[in-house]
Amino acid sequence: MSSIKMIDGRLQVPDQVTIPYIEGDGVGAEVTPACQQVVDAAVSKAYQGRRRIDWIEVYAGGKAHQLTGEWLPQTTIYAFREHVVGIKGPLMTPVGGGIRSLNVALRQTLDLYVCQRPVRWFRGIESPVKHPERVDMCIFRENTEDIYAGIEWDAGSAEAKKFYKFIHEEMGVTKVRFPETSSFGVKPVSKEGSERLIRSAIEYALSHHLPSVTLVHKGNIMKYTEGGFKRWGYELAEREYGEALHSGRLVIKDCICDAFLQNTLLKPEEYSVIATMNLNGDYISDQLAAMVGGIGIAPGANINYQSGIAIFEATHGIAPDIAGQGVVNPCSLILSAVMMLDYMGWQEAGLLITQAMERLFSQGIATADLAKYMPNGQPLSTKAFADRLAAAL
Ligand code: NAD
């Protein structure tokens, strides 16, 4: 088995590489084989046998629970650490058992601090906006901090009372309108956490020759948390990327989150790489995905650019309403695999896939969720679509 290694801040990728994958629950059993079929065909075509992926299955979610009694076995975490780059289908959220979400557990355990979501439009895909072709962005959403850290207490609990007593009596806080019936949450936002996220976004913009990085925040209201994110971002750019800034290779700007959501509808062409905090990033990702065709084709990844560890993933859920029917759209996972190939430096194979996908969509060839909105739509099953895509490479 040949693992990817991170040496001196650079990924070393062997030509025969082992990639761990989690099949995923629900429609995972359908999108994962479709994705592997297309990726294998693209790698074979791009490199004529010189490069190859050996997939090894690792377990999480329902399949892991059935096989091992655990939802997220340690062996799965070890496999992602050892092999550095991996991919996963969607996972169900276990009810009870102390796990809020397996996705969150994976991100936290492996400290995958960037949630990266590229958003672009493919000709042929129906969109609710007039000019979807102007949407071409890559979102860098901070994954480990903010109000998402899960530090919160329910109204009326002993912890909520204790917390209120502390902020009221020791910190002099008098602004809580209904203290007896208030729940409380804590929003930690650090300089280190903000800087490592913003640095990744800047590096990505520079290495892909992209026009700008926009810091999206709500610092006009939350001055120290969201405002800190913005200030630390500008300071970091000045300190570490001064030459690129002053030569014009790098443009840093910022936008308040509510205005940003509006602007992306009105003038999306003004934005390229987006660096933002956890909660803002959640809303932004869904709005932008909806503008270019929605859940079935939105790819994503969770990445730690320092350790190199990266897990590429379908962004949709397990879709229990259509699981087992052979109709699910595999493009979210396939485009996540394209991101993975790009991350590994195997761009040629990724490009073959996106170009073939563009050709099929423009002829109306897609799974039913997309084809039903296309004037010339020809709905295909998941398997038939994967076959057509592999043949069109
Ligand atoms: P969902 O994404 O599973 O489904 C929402 C709707 O979109 C459904 O009608 C579904 O049929 C449709 N849909 C989703 N993906 C599709 C695809 N690729 N092709 C065609 N149609 C598609 O979201 P949900 O119903 O909110 O969540 C169901 C379960 O999935 C929950 O247990 C949730 O926790 C889990 N979930 C997991 C992830 C993940 O692992 N990344 C993400 C979201 C939700």
Distances in Å between the Cα of 123 and the Cα atoms of 16, 18, 357, 363, 364 are 34, 34, 10, 9, 10
- Is residue 223 flagged as an active site residue? no
With a Cβ cut-off of 6 Å, ligand 1 is lined by 90-93, 103, 295-296, 313, 316-319, 321-322, 328-329, 332, 369
Quote the CA–CA distance of 238 and 232 in Å, as a whole number: 10
Using the predicted structure, report yes or no on whether residue 333 has a pLDDT greater than 70. yes
pLDDT, residue 73, reads 95
- Among the listed ranges 29-43, 117-131, 199-213, 234-248, which one has the minimum average pLDDT value? 117-131
- Is residue 282 flagged as an active site residue? yes
Average pLDDT (159-178) is 96
> Which residue is associated with the tokens 């002053």?
246
- Is residue 148 flagged as an active site residue? yes
Task: Pick the atom of ligand 1 nearest to 313's CA.
Answer: 41
To test ligand 1's pocket by mutation, which of 318, 322, 334 has the most ligand atoms within 8 angstroms of CB? 318
- Is residue 25 flagged as an active site residue? no
Report residue 227 as tokens.
Answer: 């405002």
Q: With cut-offs at 50, 70 and 90, classify the pLDDT of residue 284.
A: very high
pLDDT, residue 98, reads 63
Secondary element (H or E) of residue 62 = helix 62-68
pLDDT per residue over 251-275, tens digit each?
999 999 999 999 999 999 999 999 9
pLDDT, residue 215, reads 98
Residue 187 Cα to ligand 1 midpoint, Å, equals 28
Using the predicted structure, report yes or no on whether residue 1 has a pLDDT greater than 70. no
Residue 314 Cα to ligand 1 midpoint, Å, equals 10
